[in-house]
Structures are given as structure tokens and as C-alpha cells.
Amino acid sequence: MEHLKQWHIAGAIFTLIFSTLLHFAYDWSGNNEFISYLAPINESIWEHQKLLFTPMILFTIIELFAYGKDLPNFLPVKVLSILIGIAVIIASYYTYTGIIGQGFLIADIGTFILGTLVAYLFSYHFLQTTCFSSQLSRIVMLIILVLLILGFVIFTVNPPRIPLFQDAPSGTYGR
């Protein structure tokens, strides 16, 4: 399973580098609508989850063709990894801002790095097992993946008026 370790290290590095570029993609694209579904359009916590989601999905597609099609638990583990990474980012952000009372850029970057590393560690560990190998797991995780993609599209255009979706600098929501 040495190749699996190398793939996960490469995936984490890819995600961290690609997300840095992705952070500016919406502005660089001239506020392109398609790019808005893949990259953050503002500084809300929700929009910044695209920084984990988009690179991980892209790398997952590469992994699928490289070795994933041979693993019955590949899709469920990858979707769970993304969800866990997102949960770690959101939980750690709200924990540290709840304690300190405000956000700090370096801490925000740290929460993203933590979420990325946890996501890839989870994936690395569980792809070496038979956990989540059932047909039901694959169906459920495919549905969750579709719902997550729809959530990014719908909430980019029409975000709920709750703090998770609020652009902190401007106090606005959405585009």
C-alpha cells in the first residue's frame, strides 16, 4: 500500500496548493458564474469550504482512474473524507473564534490545513480496509455527493441568512 501513501501525500499537497489559487479564481475570472460554483465568491465560512471540496474532488477523479476503480469502498471513503474535512474546518473555526472572539487569517489558514490533513488521513486509513464497501454505502455516498454539489450551487446563488453564509467583511450574503 506504499502507492496509496504516496497518492495521499500528493493529494494533500495538491489540495493545499490548488486551494491557494482557487481562493482568487472568482475575482480573476471576472466574476464568472461557472467559476462561482467552484471557488469562493466571498469570505463566508461556507464559501471557503469550496477550497477543500473542489481540489479534493478533482484529485479524487484522478485517483479513481489511477487506482480507485479497484477499491469497492473508494467513493464512500472519499465522500466521507471531504465531509469530515469540511466539518473539521467549520468546527475548529467556530471553536477558536468563540474562544478568542474574532477570526485571524493565520488561524483560518491553520483550520484549513488541519481539515485537509484530517480528510486525507481518514481517506488513507479507510481505503486500506473494507469499511464502507457495501453497495448501500456507495449509493448513500453518491446521493450525499450530489446533495453537496447541489448545496454549493444553490447556496452560492441563494444562501440562507445565517452566520455560516455571511461574508464577514461586508456583512452581505452571496454574490
Residue range 8-66, pLDDT digits in tens: 999 999 999 999 999 999 999 999 999 999 999 999 999 999 999 999 999 999 999 99
pLDDT band with cut points at 50, 70 and 90 for residue 154: very high
pLDDT digits (tens, 9 = 90+) for 75-92: 999 999 999 999 999 999
30 in a domain, yes or no?
yes
In a domain, 58, yes or no: yes
Q: Does 175 reside within a domain?
A: no
Which residue matches cell numbers 489559487?
21
Residue 174 falls within a domain, yes or no?
A: no
Checking if the pLDDT of 131 tops 80, the result is yes
pTM above 0.85, yes or no: yes
Q: Which of 121, 129, 146 minimizes the C-alpha distance to 11?
A: 121
Answer yes or no: is 171 within a domain: no
Residue 90 placed within a domain: yes
What pLDDT does residue 174 have? 82
Separation CA 127–CA 121 (nearest Å): 10
Overall domain count for the chain: 1
93 within 8 A of 102, measured Cβ to Cβ: no
3 state SS of 173 = strand
- Report, in angstroms and rounded to the nearest whole number, the Rg of the chain calculated over CA atoms: 16
Q: Decide: helix, strand or coil at residue 132.
A: coil
The C-alpha cell at 160 is: 440562507
Domain that holds residue 80: 2-165
Judge whether 66 lies within some domain: yes
